[in-house]
Amino acid sequence: MFEEEPSRRAKLIGAGLAKPVWNPEVGRAMAAGEQGEHQMSGNPFTSHPKEVGESYGQHFGHAAWFGVRMIGGGIACLIHAVFPFLCVRTGSQTMNRLHAKLHGRAEKANWERHPMI
């Protein structure tokens, strides 16, 4: 269809402005000119939710929803470990549902929700 514009990181590295350096906080290599963009500034409770296009309350609700379901799936797996005839598909179904839900959220207007990608 149409090509994406190269990211700022790709432009900096491609221009030879700096050798990429691994940044453990971000989990990837970054060009020197890009380093300052990812430092935590402002309120730490709202900086990540803002990066993904949510308010603190929206992010809290989504993260709590996922967490509760992950705990439920984990408990089902522990029950299945002791009693193999119980919760036979519960753990895998929980993982599949969570993956589908998270994947669907990430696909929504990716350029707006995840400006760092």
76 and 52 both lie in a single domain: yes
pLDDT (tens digit per residue) in 24-78: 666 666 655 555 544 556 788 888 888 888 889 999 999 999 999 999 999 999 9
79 and 102 both lie in a single domain: yes
Q: CA-to-CA distance for 6 and 9, rounded, in angstroms?
A: 8
114 and 62 both lie in a single domain: yes
28 and 50 both lie in a single domain: no
Q: Residue 116: its pLDDT value, please?
A: 55
CB 47 within 8 A of CB 38: no
Report residue 109: phi and psi, to 5°: 40, 60
Enter the pTM of the model.
0.54
Residue 109 has pLDDT above 50, yes or no: no
62 and 112 both lie in a single domain: yes
Residue 1 has pLDDT above 50, yes or no: no
pLDDT band for 83, please (50, 70, 90 cuts).
very high
61 and 116 both lie in a single domain: yes
* In 8-114, beta strands by DSSP E: 21-23, 28-30
Of 113, 24, 26, 111, nearest in space to 62 by CA: 113
72 and 106 both lie in a single domain: yes
Residue 105 has pLDDT above 60, yes or no: yes
Number of domains in the chain: 2
91 and 55 both lie in a single domain: yes
Residue 22, strand partner residues: 29
81 and 103 both lie in a single domain: yes
68 and 49 both lie in a single domain: yes
Domain that holds residue 65: 44-117
